[in-house]
Chain A
């Protein structure tokens, strides 16, 4: 197992950790803001219009204006809501969306002062399970928001959402088992390094023959993040807005940010598990650069590029596919994705046993 023995004082360790947490949180929040812009621009292009283009060059300052707008709007709390849970729900949602990044390695390990890892907050040997656990806790934000709003549209939206999340969590978890079997570890770093040797050829998606798992993960991830074509919890035409109907101002913005944060998390996990994480698609065929800065920044570039591609795929799907019906959604999850995921596990284990 990885036992990173570092030689630092406790104080330095704590300070570095706090610094990493602060920087990564800010980057994550910025990432969320610009994912929203990316979506609006891309969907605009898909629908043959410009998207936001007035604020700043190419509309690049739009997220800042949006944030200012959210802050300045009147913060309504309806009288009939159950206040404690109504206030707790958006915090839970956003909190769960922001916590997952803590275990995600996004750069070359072992770079940093005193042997501390600069590009990962914490390296845990159950990293993957932590992400799944945090995701499963995220359901509460949505469920409580819908229930505490005391509004039938909200309640229907949150019930749909809870059922959907629970159903697709199974397929999502099972689809990852093949990858874990191949790596023999739940440590995200080990999983990435196992794919690193020959670049694209050894990624789990191609060389690892996990494309079925990737397909299942993709579908389940769309459902987990309540994104189109599985955005039934907030289907505007049926539910006026779903679980966040009664929320306004920053509280609505928190749900909104949580959704995009979850998109980024899902993209990060897909990158780590199927697309080789921070390693370059050329693997070890290209010699590592000598310059320390290039050596440190190239992995981050590859990681961000892969996550970016994944987010573009998300937006593309949203701009293309219509919404599922509720019974179709449940049938698809339980009757198609689940058996396929189990088949993938059996196939992968047989192959590993045979090899």
Chain B
């Protein structure tokens, strides 16, 4: 293989959306598929290590930080599969907002180091096999499911390589699935209103009194 073959196309920013690399089977294509594989293994390892650490840590704040590692690594895995919007939404919403709330609560409660309990005696021999069986069942169902299609490392999710999946996602969400989407958002809104109403329940009388007094 002479030097000329190095001059193949190297897609830039949207490389996640183009399935060009795996089509070109020369050194470059091999380089990219192997790079994706290395990244996948690295972040999958991070993800698993974070999850195990989450369980092993006795301090709540360490556990919540491990959960952040898990979520961020998951975001990288989404990115490797070509779902860039899902990846960044994962970081903004889960790692950025939800987990800040978690750490916030841990800090506010000033939760200290917890004692490790041995739990019930049955947990150890039964727990691990049970987890393996459940995960196996879920994995089998997903693999057997028809019509899900396949995603490959370093390729886009769609067949249109030049199109951002942001565009496709928004078309599906706001055109084809508009009604379910809006209904879900109303559902979430109701949950928020319910939470506010519950939180205010004892203070509402005092507020009403204040208002009448002000009048």
Q: Tell me, yes or no, whether B25 is within 8 Å of chain A by CB.
A: no
> In the bound complex, do residue A7 and residue B88 qualify as a contact, i.e. CB atoms below 8 Å apart?
no
For the A-B complex, the count of residue pairs with Cβ-Cβ distances under 8 Å equals 100
Number of interface residues of B (CB under 8 A): 34
> In the bound complex, do residue A140 and residue B100 qualify as a contact, i.e. CB atoms below 8 Å apart?
yes
A349 to chain B, nearest CB (A): 11
Residues of B within 8 A of A169 (CB): 97
A84-117 CB mask vs B (1 if < 8 Å, else 0) is 0100000000000000000000000000000000
Q: Tell me, yes or no, whether A249 is within 8 Å of chain B by CB.
A: no
Q: List 14 A-B contacts (CB under 8 A).
A: A3-B18, A3-B162, A5-B10, A7-B7, A122-B13, A124-B13, A125-B13, A125-B164, A125-B166, A136-B100, A137-B96, A147-B103, A159-B107, A166-B97
Contact residues of A: prevailing secondary structure? helix
Q: Tell me, yes or no, whether A162 is within 8 Å of chain B by CB.
A: yes
Q: How far is the CA of A302 from the CA of B100 in the complex (A)?
A: 37
> In the bound complex, do residue A129 and residue B88 qualify as a contact, i.e. CB atoms below 8 Å apart?
yes
Q: Chain B: which residue is nearest A136 at the CB level? A: B96
- The one of B61, B85, B89, B163 in contact with A1, judged by C-beta atoms closer than 8 angstroms, is B163
Residues of B within 8 A of A144 (CB): 61, 103
Q: Tell me, yes or no, whether B95 is within 8 Å of chain A by CB.
A: yes
Q: Which of A8-16, A48-56, A200-208, A254-262 contacts B (4 or more CB under 8 A)?
A: A8-16
- The one of B14, B89, B107 in contact with A155, judged by C-beta atoms closer than 8 angstroms, is B107
B67-102 CB mask vs A (1 if < 8 Å, else 0) is 010000000000000001100110110011100110
Near B by CB (< 8 A), chain A positions 180-200 give 186
Q: Tell me, yes or no, whether A123 is within 8 Å of chain B by CB.
A: yes
> In the bound complex, do residue A5 and residue B12 qualify as a contact, i.e. CB atoms below 8 Å apart?
yes
Name B residues whose Cβ lies closer than 8 Å to a Cβ of A.
Answer: 6-7, 9-14, 17-18, 28, 31, 61, 65, 68, 84-85, 88-89, 91-92, 95-97, 100-101, 103-104, 107-108, 162-164, 166
Q: How far is the CA of A2 from the CA of B167 in the complex (A)?
A: 13
Residues of A within 8 A of B164 (CB): 1, 125-126
Q: Tell me, yes or no, whether A6 is within 8 Å of chain B by CB.
A: yes
Q: Chain A: which residue is nearest B167 at the CB level? A: A1
> In the bound complex, do residue B92 and residue A136 qualify as a contact, i.e. CB atoms below 8 Å apart?
yes
Q: How far is the CA of A325 from the CA of B11 in the complex (A)?
A: 51
Residues of A within 8 A of B6 (CB): 9-10
Residues of B within 8 A of A218 (CB): none
Residues of B within 8 A of A159 (CB): 104, 107-108
> In the bound complex, do residue B97 and residue A147 qualify as a contact, i.e. CB atoms below 8 Å apart?
no
Q: How far is the CA of A186 from the CA of B170 in the complex (A)?
A: 13
Q: Ordered nearest first, which 9 A-B pairs have the shortest CB separation?
A: A136-B96, A4-B12, A123-B13, A133-B91, A129-B88, A147-B107, A133-B92, A9-B6, A125-B164
- The one of B14, B68, B96, B104 in contact with A2, judged by C-beta atoms closer than 8 angstroms, is B14
Q: Tell me, yes or no, whether A294 is within 8 Å of chain B by CB.
A: no
Contact residues of B: prevailing secondary structure? helix
With contact pairs A10-B10, A124-B13 given, residues A162 and B84 touching in the complex (Cβ less than 8 Å): no
Q: Tell me, yes or no, whether A174 is within 8 Å of chain B by CB.
A: no
Residues of A within 8 A of B162 (CB): 1, 3
A170 to chain B, nearest CB (A): 9
A135 to chain B, nearest CB (A): 8
Q: How far is the CA of A178 from the CA of B101 in the complex (A)?
A: 27
Q: Chain B: which residue is nearest A10 at the CB level? A: B31
> In the bound complex, do residue A137 and residue B91 qualify as a contact, i.e. CB atoms below 8 Å apart?
yes
Q: Tell me, yes or no, whether A130 is within 8 Å of chain B by CB.
A: yes
Residues of A within 8 A of B28 (CB): 10
Near B by CB (< 8 A), chain A positions 269-313 give none
Q: Chain A: which residue is nearest B75 at the CB level? A: A133
B193 to chain A, nearest CB (A): 15
Q: Chain B: which residue is nearest A122 at the CB level? A: B13
Q: Tell me, yes or no, whether A132 is within 8 Å of chain B by CB.
A: yes
Residues of B within 8 A of A147 (CB): 61, 103, 107
Residues of B within 8 A of A139 (CB): 96, 100
A231-247 CB mask vs B (1 if < 8 Å, else 0) is 00000000000000000
Residues of A within 8 A of B7 (CB): 7, 9
> In the bound complex, do residue B88 and residue A6 qualify as a contact, i.e. CB atoms below 8 Å apart?
no
Given contacts A2-B12, A5-B9, A144-B103, 20 further A-B contacts (CB under 8 A): A1-B14, A1-B17, A3-B13, A3-B14, A4-B12, A5-B11, A6-B10, A7-B7, A7-B10, A10-B10, A13-B10, A122-B13, A123-B12, A125-B164, A133-B92, A140-B68, A159-B107, A162-B100, A162-B104, A169-B97
> In the bound complex, do residue A4 and residue B92 qualify as a contact, i.e. CB atoms below 8 Å apart?
no
Q: How far is the CA of A54 from the CA of B28 in the complex (A)?
A: 57
A202 to chain B, nearest CB (A): 24
Q: Tell me, yes or no, whether A253 is within 8 Å of chain B by CB.
A: no
Q: How far is the CA of A140 from the CA of B96 in the complex (A)?
A: 9
Q: Chain A: which residue is nearest B9 at the CB level? A: A5
Q: How far is the CA of A217 from the CA of B14 in the complex (A)?
A: 29
> In the bound complex, do residue A126 and residue B85 qualify as a contact, i.e. CB atoms below 8 Å apart?
yes
